[in-house]
Structure formats: C-alpha cells, structure tokens
C-alpha cells in the first residue's frame, strides 16, 4: 500500500515537471503560421485577401502590423486617427496633410524624426480601407497575424518571435511550477495523515526540497536540461551566419536616401545587371562620374565624399579631365549568400516582377545600406510558397496546360512559385 502510494505521488511529481518543462519549451518553439484567413464570409475573405496583397506590395517594406519597423506598427491605427478619411489622406499624400496643419499628422512626423512616408496616390479609397480591414483582421486573429508577419515581404518580422508572448509562456510555466510545488506539499501532508491513521507513519526527515528533488526527479531534470540546452544550441546554430541588420561602414558615405529617395534615380541606372544577370552589379566608378563630373558638392558632406570618387576615377575637377588611371572602390558587401546558394536577380526582378524593396527593405530611406531581410532559407521558401507566378502574361508558362485549365475552371485561384517547383532543392542548390 505504502509503496504504491509513494510511487503514485512520484509519478505525479514527474508529470508536473514534465508539464513545467514542456511549457518552457513552448516558449522557445517556433510557432507555425496558419496561412489562411479565418473569415467565414467569402466576399469579405476575398476583400481581405486583396488588402493583404496590397499591404504586402505597398506597406510591408516599412510597416508591420504588430510592431514598429521603419514606420510605426499599424495595429490600432484606426484608433489613433480621428477618422478613416484622414488615414486615406495621409496614405495618399501625407505632406499635403501635414501642410494643412493636421495636428496628429505633424505629431507622427516629429515622433518619427521627420522621416517621410512615400505617398501612394495610385491607391483608391477602397484600397486603403481594404488594407486597414486586413490589419484589423490580423490584429483580431493571432494565427492570421502570424501568417502576415512571416510573409516574405515583411521579412524583418520573422526573426524576433514575439517577446510579449514569450513572457506569457514563462509566467504560465512559473504558475504551474508553484502549483506543482503546492500540490506536492499538500499530497505529502495528506499521505502523512493517512499513514499516521493507519499507524504506518515513519517520520520523514527530508526537507521539503529534498522530498521534491528525489534521485528520479534529479535525473529527469538532468535529461531535460540536456534537451533544453540542445534545443537552445540548435536554435542558435541555425542563426549562425545570419546577419540581418548588418550595416557595415562603406569606404564612401554613399546615401541611397539621397540618390533614390530624394533624387529619384532608378535602381537599374546603377545596378544595371539586375534584369539581365544573377548579379545586380555594383556600379563602376565611371557610372558615378556620369553625374559627378557636374555634381561636385553634396548636401551633407560637401566635397569630401565626392572627392573620393574623383580620386578613384582619376578625375581632376580643377582641370575638368581624367588625369590618372582609375582604381576600383572596394565596397563592403552587405548581402552575403552562402556559396551553395544560387540566387539570380533577373529571375526575381525581370521575370517575377518583384520590387527591390521586397527583399532590400526601404532602400530609398537608408542613409547607409543595411541587410533588411534575414536571407535565411525559411525566408526564401516562405516567399516561394506565397508568391504568385506571373502566369498569364508570360508565354514561357504556356506549357503548364493543366494549371491554365485549373485557373480557367476556377479550381485554382493562382499558381504559386511552389506549384511549379519553386521549393525544390535544385531550384537554388547545384
């Protein structure tokens, strides 16, 4: 009787520890995305899907739903503004709204250190409302929200898995631990009472802690510690070599914010390989000289930085002629893919029609370039799962007859990159 009772209590304790640890693990574990909208009404669903797409292609490079990126988190944006109309005005042309003297618009502008949001005059009022509703749905439904956050366009949101939810998990774990301790004390007491009644009472000289940490519990703890550390090791190992946010100092303080954001120079003007080759191409110093023969002074650094271009190109601004042999500028590479990954810019930009900002972030606002996306395999794969192939407009895809039929018959809404083998190993590894 005593033996069986004891073992029952032991089992109970082990069970409690298992509970505690699995909850703790839960805090570490990756939460998979659901990917689908939990909206029953088909029309709303389509509208929200549209909003999601608009959000991804227009907003996601600067905004996330649940946290601040380059721009503020969009969660509850409808509560912050006095009316929907104001939001629409802001999205379409925020500078005119600010000029009109709108208090909140100016507050936001100042809060965000005067960084200018790109205007979206091409969006209709309905578009903006769809986006807001999508954000609303995201906020309401955490699963839905996760799907949005791990979307490729907002790659930044992938890496740090929500700190707030982690704390909650830890709290639950701690509560359960306390509960476990309390229950075990109670059950011990009860056992003592029963034993005393039956006359089997043997005084247990162990302290409360000793009673909990019996050899079996200890070995179980050891096992779980090892597993826990192992999981941690694997998790950190996966992160090795990932350099999201990497922002090295460049030999010349070239500002994308100035050239792209302000002067509106097309990306392809300098990165001329982006539609032809696997490399986007870092421009030769002679490309810089096309303009800087004439532009001899910058707004921020005056002549100092431009003088570096002259030095490398062998240009003498006084004489207005090339006098020395050119030397290359040794830029520091920001986006580094491992050697075993084949990535081709032209496939994504020319064929896929993907904007530079989707992967490189809000480059037109970067004074110095930093790595915006994690460039991890999961990030690539997620995008390949969700991105739609430009199926109808490109004759290359005419061979996929079945998919064309499926689209016609409505069996398939869209063909994703994954459908045509975009997640297979040898798409990128060979």
Partner 1 sequence: MTEIRYWKSLAELNETPEYKDEVAKEFREDIAGLDLVDEASKAASSGRRDFLKLMGFSVSAAAIATSCKTPVNKAVPYVFDGRDQIPEVVPGIADFFATTFFDGTSFVNLLAKTREGRPIKLEGNSLSPLTKGGTSARSQASILGLYDVSRLKGPTKGDKAISWDQADKEIGAKLNEIAAAGGKVAILSGTLASPSTKSAIEKFKSKYPNTSHIAYDANSLSAIRKANASSIGGSFIPSYDFSKAKVIVGFNCDFLGTWLSPVEFAGQYATNKVPTKEKPTMLRHHQFQSTMTITGAAADYRYPIKPSEEKLALIALYNAVAAKVGGSGLSGAKAYSNKAAIDKIATELAGAKGSSLIVSGTNNVEIQALTNAINGILGNYGSTILGRAMNTKEGNDEDFAKFVSDLKAGAYSGLIIYGANPVYNTSSGNEVKEAISKLKLSVSFNERADETSSLAQYICPDSHYLESWNIYEPKSGYYSFSQPVINTIFDTRQAQQSLLNWAGEKISYHDFIKNQAAGWGNWESNLENGFVETASNAGISCNVGAALANVQAASGSANGMELFVYEKVSVGDGSLANNPLLQEMPDPISKTTWDNYINVSYSYAVENKLKLWLREAPIAKLTVGGKSIELPLMISFGQPKGTFSVALGYGRTKAGKVADNVGGNIYPLISNGVYSADGVKIELTGKFAKMGMNQQYSTLQEDNNLPGKPRRYRNGIIKEANLKQYQAKENAGNEDREEIKKHLQTMYSYHPYQGHHWGMSVDMNSCIGCGACVVACNVENNIPIVGRTEVYRGHEMHWMRIDRYFSGDPDNPDVSFQPMMCQHCDNAPCENVCPVNATNHSSEGLNQMAYNRCIGTRYCANNCPFKVRRFNWLDYQGNDSFGKWNDYDGATYMFEDLTRMVLNPDVNVRTRGVIEKCSMCVQRIQEGKLNAKKAGRPLQDGEIKTACQTSCPTHAIVFGDMNDGNSELHKSFFENERNYHLFEELHFQTSIGYKVKVRNKDEEPAFEFAPVMDEDNKEKV
Interacting residue ranges for partner 1, rule: CB under 8 A: 240-241, 243, 248, 272-273, 275-279, 281-287, 289, 313-315, 322, 325-333, 336, 339-340, 342, 344, 346-347, 350-351, 393-396, 398-403, 419-421, 424-427, 429-430
- Give CA angle at 343 (338, 349), nearest 5°: 145
Q: Which is nearer to partner 1, 91 or 289 (CB)?
A: 289
**Distance between CA atoms of 183 and 16, rounded to whole angstroms?**
10
CB of 333 to partner 1, least distance (A): 4
Nearer to partner 1, 211 or 350 (CB): 350
CB of 418 to partner 1, least distance (A): 10
Given the structure tokens 């995305």, which residue do they identify?
A: 33
Cβ proximity to partner 1, 90 vs 310, nearer residue? 310
CB of 379 to partner 1, least distance (A): 17
Distance CA 322, CA 316 (A): 6
Nearer to partner 1 (CB atom), residue 4 or residue 393: 393
To partner 1, the closest distance from the beta carbon of 419 in angstroms equals 8
> How far apart are CB 233 and partner 1 at their closest, in Å?
11
- φ and ψ at residue 328, rounded to 5 degrees: -75, 150
Q: CA 5, CA 358: separation in Å to the nearest integer? A: 62
| Residue whose CB is less far from partner 1, 191 or 312 | 312
Q: 379-411: buried (b, 16+ CB within 10 Å) or exposed (e) per residue?
A: bbbbbbbbbebebeeeeebeebeebbeebeeee
Q: In whole angstroms, how large is the CA radius of gyration of the chain?
A: 30
Give 94 or 255: the residue with its C-beta nearer to partner 1: 255
Closer residue to partner 1 (CB): 183 or 287 = 287
413 CB burial (10 A radius; 0-12, 13-18, 19+): exposed
Residue-level length of the chain: 430
Shortest approach of partner 1 to residue 281 CB, angstroms?
Answer: 6
- What whole-number distance in Å separates Cα of residue 348 and Cα of residue 428? 13
- Helices 84-92, 125-140: axis angle to 10 degrees equals 110
Is residue 365 within 8 A of residue 391, CB to CB? The reply is: no
Task: Give me the least distance between CB of 286 and partner 1, in Å please.
Answer: 5
């Amino acid at each position: 009787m005593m033996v069986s009772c004891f073992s029952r209590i032991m089992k109970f304790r082990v069970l409690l520890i298992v509970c505690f640890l699995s909850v703790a693990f839960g805090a570490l574990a990756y939460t998979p995305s659901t990917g689908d909208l939990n909206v029953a009404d088909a029309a709303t669903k389509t509208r929200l899907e549209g909003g999601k797409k608009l959000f991804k292609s227009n907003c996601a490079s600067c905004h996330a739903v649940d946290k601040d990126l380059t721009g503020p988190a969009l969660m509850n944006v409808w509560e912050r503004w006095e009316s929907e109309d104001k939001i629409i005005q802001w999205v379409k042309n925020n500078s005119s709204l600010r000029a009109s003297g709108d208090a909140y618009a100016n507050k936001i502008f100042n809060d965000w250190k005067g960084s200018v949001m790109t205007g979206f005059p091409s969006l209709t009022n309905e578009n903006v409302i769809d986006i807001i509703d999508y954000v609303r749905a995201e906020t309401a439904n955490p699963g839905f929200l996760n799907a949005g956050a791990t979307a490729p366009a907002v790659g930044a949101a992938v890496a740090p898995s929500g700190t707030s939810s982690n704390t909650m998990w830890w709290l639950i774990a701690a509560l359960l631990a306390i509960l476990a301790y309390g229950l075990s004390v109670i059950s011990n007491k009860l056992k003592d009472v029963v034993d005393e009644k039956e006359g089997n009472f043997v005084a247990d000289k162990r302290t409360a802690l000793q009673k909990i940490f019996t050899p079996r519990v200890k070995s179980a703890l050891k096992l779980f510690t090892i597993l826990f550390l192992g999981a941690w090791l694997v998790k950190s190992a996966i992160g090795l070599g990932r350099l999201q946010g990497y922002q090295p100092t460049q030999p010349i303080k070239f500002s994308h914010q100035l050239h792209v954001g302000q002067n509106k120079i097309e990306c392809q003007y300098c990165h001329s390989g982006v539609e032809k080759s696997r490399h986007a191409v870092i421009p030769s110093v002679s490309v810089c000289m096309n303009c800087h023969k004439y532009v001899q002074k910058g707004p921020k650094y005056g002549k100092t930085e431009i003088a570096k271009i002259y030095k490398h190109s062998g240009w003498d601004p006084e004489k207005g002629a090339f006098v020395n042999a050119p030397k290359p500028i040794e830029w520091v590479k920001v986006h580094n893919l491992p050697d075993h990954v084949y990535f081709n810019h032209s496939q994504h930009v020319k064929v896929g029609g993907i904007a530079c900002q989707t992967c490189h972030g809000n480059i037109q606002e970067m004074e110095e370039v930093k790595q915006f996306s994690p460039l991890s395999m999961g990030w690539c794969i997620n995008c390949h799962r969700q991105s739609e192939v430009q199926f109808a407009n490109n004759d290359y895809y005419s061979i996929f007859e079945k998919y064309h039929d499926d689209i016609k018959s409505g069996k398939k809404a869209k063909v994703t990159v994954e459908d045509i083998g975009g997640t297979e190993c040898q798409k990128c590894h060979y």
